[in-house]
Structure 1
Amino acid sequence: MTDTAAFTHERTGDGDILRFSGSLSLARIGDLPDRLRTYDGNVDTVDLSGVERIDTVGAWLVHRFAAEKDAAIAGLDADSEHLLKQVEAADQPVAMRPERPGSIERIVGEVGDATVMAGKTLIGLLGFFGATVVALWNVTIHPSRFRFNAMVHNFEAVGVTALGIIGLMSFLIGVVIAQQGAVQLRQFGAEAFTINLLGRITLRELGVLMTAIMVAGRSGSAFAAQLGTMKLTEEIDAMRTIGVSPMEALVLPRILTVVIMMPLLGFFASIFSIIGGGLLCWIALNIPPVTFIQRLREVIPMTDLYVGLIKAPVFGLIIGMAGCFQGMQVEGDAEQVGLRTTSAVVQAIFMVIVLDAFFAVFFSSIGWL
């Protein structure tokens, strides 16, 4: 049986030496910590050459004692010396409650973290866009690899089932625009110009913009959740294993679906907004439907329709990319699915509004007012 840990003091020409013997392990250390704590003699060197075995507890005890006495440690073999160095490296003060940074430091840190995250997300989206273009090119070269059935299913999920909520939302927005416009224009005796306001802002801006926001919250979040769940269950890894590209099978059909459906949904939303506004003009302003439609034809240029139809597929591309990109970034646990879904909706809506502002400036600069 290994002897219990012990030590002896020896005075030599090199100074006071404390020689340890036995086993410096948890099972055989005995009352050695108490004896070392009450030892008040001088120690210049701690000699461990007589130690049969040493574990982490023993290494920590020797290190703490040598540090208190400002003594050198000698007599270790290579393994024991490595263990002692690891214990010494771990001997760092730890704050039980870290000091809270100041308000300015915290705000600057949060802004910096958000900026870094935005930069990483932008780079990731650019890389994802490149991968999508590559997948589109591969499908164009090899049409048999395109999942047409998946795209048809997404047509129903993104477009057909969304007609009801988009139509109701657009109808009510048209009513609100017409009512508020009529209230403000009545002060100048220009209620008839409510038709101008309703027709132009609906076809040019709000029809497509509100549809994009609705699709981002409805379909973009669904894309992120679906792909994120597949990532967690390792279905996407399984597809790669059998030689199926997730970009071609999962991402590309979803993005193309939103790109194709957005112009149709945007036009549908604009029509329902005009119907809602026309109904309010008929009831509140006594403008009959025939006069309303004739006035629309006079005041709405075709460029307004072109502007809406040009913006719609771009918005669809942004929504599809944001949803699929965030879904493919899920890793770890189920909580990531919710976080990435939220990020997909926020990023899609933010980028849609930024692009809408860009389009407004661009079309004004080329004379499509």
Structure 2
Amino acid sequence: MEKPADFSLTTAADRPTAALVGDWTAQQIGGAGEKLSDALRGQSDIALDLRKIRRLDTAGAYAVIGALGRGFDLTKIQARPETLRLMQLVGDAVQVEPVVRHEPKGFHDLTIRIGKGVVNVGKEALDTMAFLGQLLVVLGQTLVNLFVNPRRIRWASLVTMMERAGLDAIPIVAITSFFIGAVVGLLGANMLRQFGAEVFAVELIGIAVMREFNIIITAVLLAGRSASSFAAEIGSMKMNQEIDAMKVMGVDPFEALVLPRFGALLLTIPLLTFVATLAGLAGGMMVTWAALDLGPSFFLQRIVANVGVEQLWIGLSKGPVMAMVIAGIGCRQGLEVGGDVQSLGKRVTAAVVHAIFAIIAIDAIFALVYMQLDI
């Protein structure tokens, strides 16, 4: 049975002694620590008898040391060896002076943040290369299984991801591309009307939509829709330790989680790009028909004659690269999620931001390459 902490103060001929009894623990100490401190105040030479203490923890030892004050002498304490060791341990911890760390300011703080940023960029680059290498290994194994053991490929997951990431995105891609084509047509008509060249608005719409805006709009929408979804799904599995359970069962997370999403975007982005092209041309055609009185037959005739299908192939050629980048960034950020919700939100946001940045950068690289090749 636990007993509350208590003490008694006796005055001897040579030295006053405070005898502590009961349980000096966090649950039973109560106000005994303050009472002991008041009783010992002003006593310069006093001995402590802790032999009758039943239980003592760090809270009780801290209270006793606080009553004695700094610089207490263990030789004046009568106690069992284990009690003396605990008193010594707590006393050493109390006497340690706290280290005050001065936060850097101004230019010093700026250099530290720049250095941390450079280190983080290097770590991200190394992690990305490791992810890419592992993904290439899994892709190679999948290509071998496609001819040797097709049943090993997770066809159900692939088809499901194709529906979620591809077919379900058709409405938003079509609507967005329609309005983009309409805006391009309206701006082109207003600008070219000043030079009496309204008819060339058809070529402007065709080249802009078939060469650039179809794949850009599709990729940006997939970055916001699919990359964030991939990161959130894989990240939640990482938080719930489902990926660790898969590894224990001998299932490769890349083969089960990354590869179906990677293949789904790779196979569906040409379809989405083609839908975006049709919707963008339809939006531009509606504007030229309403604003310039150029009929649909005339619009399509000039598209075929002056723009050609080559522009469409140029736009479609960017699709596989965009798909690989979007799927890779989304899955990689999901695999980097830690054990808390804050990490999940951070990685999902990073997946969208990095994917959109990569899309713009890749499109610029394609534009420079095609310009050099005069395509």
TM-score range, shorter chain: 0.7 to 0.9
Work out which of the residue numbers 108, 129, 146 in structure 2 matches 1:126: 129
CA 1:204/1:67 → structure 2, altered by over 3 Å: closer, same or farther? farther
CA contact 2:20–2:49 (8 Å) conserved in 1: no
Give the partner amino acid of 1:171.
F
CA 1:79/1:41 → structure 2, altered by over 3 Å: closer, same or farther? closer
1:258 CA drift (Å): 0.6
What are structure 1's unaligned runs of at least 5 residues?
none
Q: Are residue 140 (structure 1) and residue 143 (structure 2) matched?
A: yes
CA 1:107/1:201 → structure 2, altered by over 3 Å: closer, same or farther? farther
- Which residue in the other structure is 2:167 paired with? 160
CA 1:193/1:18 → structure 2, altered by over 3 Å: closer, same or farther? farther
Q: What is the TM-score normalised by the length of structure 1?
A: 0.79
- Which residue in the other structure is 2:24 paired with? 25
Q: Are residue 89 (structure 1) and residue 93 (structure 2) matched?
A: yes
Give the partner amino acid of 1:343.
A
1:189 CA drift (Å): 2.3
- Which residue in the other structure is 1:58 paired with? 60
Q: Deviations over 1:215-256 (max 9, x none)?
A: 122222222233234334444333323222121122101101
CA contact 1:326–1:344 (8 Å) conserved in 2: yes
Q: Deviations over 1:322-358 (max 9, x none)?
A: 2222333344355655554333222222221222223
Q: Deviations over 1:178-208 (max 9, x none)?
A: 0011112222222223223222222222110
Distance (Å, rounded) in 1 between the aligned partners of 2:156 and 2:247: 20
Give the partner amino acid of 1:181.
G
Q: Deviations over 1:96-139 (max 9, x none)?
A: xx999979888887777666655544443332222211211222
Distance (Å, rounded) in 1 between the aligned partners of 2:224 and 2:153: 27
1:40-79 paired onto structure 2 within 5 Å: 40-43=42-45, 51-53=51-53, 54-68=56-70, 70-74=71-75, 77=81
1:294-305 paired onto structure 2 within 5 Å: 294-300=301-307, 304-305=311-312
Distance (Å, rounded) in 1 between the aligned partners of 2:121 and 2:336: 15
Task: Give the superposed CA RMSD.
Answer: 3.8
1:29 CA drift (Å): 8.8
Give the partner amino acid of 1:37.
D
Distance (Å, rounded) in 2 between the aligned partners of 1:56 and 1:317: 58
CA 1:192/1:92 → structure 2, altered by over 3 Å: closer, same or farther? farther
- Which residue in the other structure is 1:225 paired with? 232
Corresponding residue SS for 2:74: strand
Distance (Å, rounded) in 2 between the aligned partners of 1:270 and 1:112: 45
Distance (Å, rounded) in 2 between the aligned partners of 1:282 and 1:349: 34
Which stretch has the larger CA shift, 136-145 or 175-184?
136-145
- Percent sequence identity over aligned pairs: 32
Q: What is the TM-score normalised by the length of structure 2?
A: 0.78
- Which residue in the other structure is 1:355 paired with? 362
- Which residue in the other structure is 1:236 paired with? 243
What are structure 2's unaligned runs of at least 5 residues?
none
Which stretch has the larger CA shift, 342-351 or 19-28?
19-28
Which stretch has the larger CA shift, 140-149 or 77-86?
77-86
Give the partner amino acid of 2:35.
D
> How many residues end up aligned between the 2 structures?
358
Distance (Å, rounded) in 1 between the aligned partners of 2:182 and 2:229: 30
CA contact 1:167–1:272 (8 Å) conserved in 2: yes
CA contact 1:5–1:32 (8 Å) conserved in 2: no
